[in-house]
Amino acid sequence: MLTEEAVIEALRGVIDPELHKDVVTLGMAKHVQVSDGNVSVLLTLTTPACPLRETIEKDVRAALAKVPGVDSVDVKFDAAVPEGRRLQDKASIPGVKNLIAVASGKGGVGKTTVAVNLAIALKNLGALVGLLDADVYGPNVPLMLGTTEQPKMLDEKTIIPIQAYGVKMISMGLLNPGDRPLVWRGPMLHSVVQQFLRSVRWGTLDYLIVDLPPGTGDVQLSLIQSVSVSGAVVVTTPSVVALADVRKAVEMFRQVHVDVLGIVENMSYFSCPHCKGKIDVFGHGEGERLAKMFEVPLLGEIEIDPQIRIGGDTGKPVASRGEDAKSIYAMARNVAARVSVVNLSGAAPVVQIL
Ligand SMILES: Nc1ncnc2c1ncn2[C@@H]1O[C@H](COP(=O)(O)OP(=O)(O)O)[C@@H](O)[C@H]1O
Ligand SMILES: [Mg+2]
């Protein structure tokens, strides 16, 4: 007679490849049901954007196939994103499970492009996502999302984010529409951003993506120090001169004990539409080299593609068109997986996932 216990015992042999524990110990294997020889298992992943879903399903099927009496196996998935670690002296934002900072050593490397497309991809993969445009120098998230909608203020201390492509968003740019550049002074900037962080009513979010100002100065530091950050994504381009910028960014996060989730190499290569070959415009591979050097994962390599620029310029980010934007969805899955690893392991282990 096939029993639930026998099935659960077999599932103890299925190890999550990134969390390095079995799916029973991790509490992922839920609702094991057995009727005659038919087994159904519900597995709860730590993110709907899990890149390992297929691997885990394959391993579960293989493990159960070995159990005597099993005729058929039905594997279903759902996901519950765990809450990020709370640092004692840092404020957390109500409802926000994980705050992911997107940073770069300098401007123009595609930080906002990455932040916006990451947010939309995670949303399309099934997560609850918000996007905070904290780039006070160039708040162009609204432009890239194609919106000028004004957020509603319930009262002086409560801002309701607007929505675009299913992502909740708030931007300094919306509070200052037009092309007037904002010249914020240090303390004023700090208080405006603080107010922002405290006043926005996000509701429940699995991930809040924050487009930080470029660079590694006081503004960036005060921002990341004031809240509990799950981890940071550092965006760079593959030119050799990016090295010093990446080092500064990685060092800044380490200094304030924020885990660097990894590096995204943007404008990585160009896929020639004619010959279909990959052309290394800036010398592709630099991101991987940097990642190794700083012992952080390479989370993605995003090609140079006129469609990515046009998507940004016209307010229709490529990620909104679905999984055709392969490199972007791959990056989003890697980022989500890294957040899970960091949350569940207590400290960011050094692993290469590409
Ligand atoms: N992978 C890419 N392919 C083509 N154009 C890109 C890519 N990434 C960014 N861009 C374009 O480069 C410019 C700068 O990108 P942006 O995201 O605004 O950079 P940052 O926020 O770092 O200043 C924008 O016009 C954007 O559309
Ligand atoms: Mg930007």
Q: Which atom of ligand 1 is nearest to the CA of 135?
A: 21
What pLDDT score does 351 carry? 35
The C-alpha atoms of residue 133 and residue 197 are separated, in whole angstroms, by: 11
Mean pLDDT of the residues in the chain: 88
pLDDT over 60 at 352, yes or no: no
pLDDT of residue 285: 73
Residue 337 · residue 310 · CB < 8 Å: no
DSSP state for residue 161 in the 8-state scheme: P
**CA-302 nearest atom, ligand 1:** 1
Taken in order of first residue, the domains within the chain and their CATH numbers are 4-79 (3.30.300.130), 99-345 (3.40.50.300)
For the chain, the first-to-last Cα distance in angstroms comes to 43
Element (H, E) at 304: strand 298-304
pTM given for the model:
0.91
The protein residue whose alpha carbon is closest to atom 16 in ligand 1 is: 110
Q: How far apart are CA 354 and CA 333, in angstroms?
A: 12
Q: Quick one: which of 333, 283, 294, 269 has its CA closest to 105?
A: 294
CA 343-122-227 angle, to 5 degrees, is 45
List pocket residues of ligand 1, CB cut-off 6 Å.
Answer: 104, 107-113, 214, 266-267, 302, 304-305, 308-309, 312
pLDDT digits (tens, 9 = 90+) for 239-251: 766 778 888 999 9
Q: Would you give the distance in Å from CA 288 to the centre of its chain? A: 19
pLDDT in tens, 81-111: 988 877 666 777 889 999 999 999 988 999 9
Q: Cα–Cα distance between 73 and 291 in angstroms, integer?
A: 40
At 139-196, the pLDDT tens digits run 899 999 999 898 888 887 888 999 999 999 998 777 665 555 555 556 666 677 777 7
- Supply the DSSP string of 131-160, one letter for each residue: EEE--SS---HHHHHT--PPPEEEETTEEE
Q: Give the nearest ligand 1 atom to 140 CA.
A: 18
> In this predicted structure, what is the pLDDT of residue 349?
38
Mean pLDDT on 191-216: 88
Nearest to 348 by CA among 230, 266, 177, 203: 230
> What single DSSP character describes residue 182?
P
Distance, in Å, from the CA atom of 190 to the CA atom of 196, rounded to the nearest integer, reads: 10
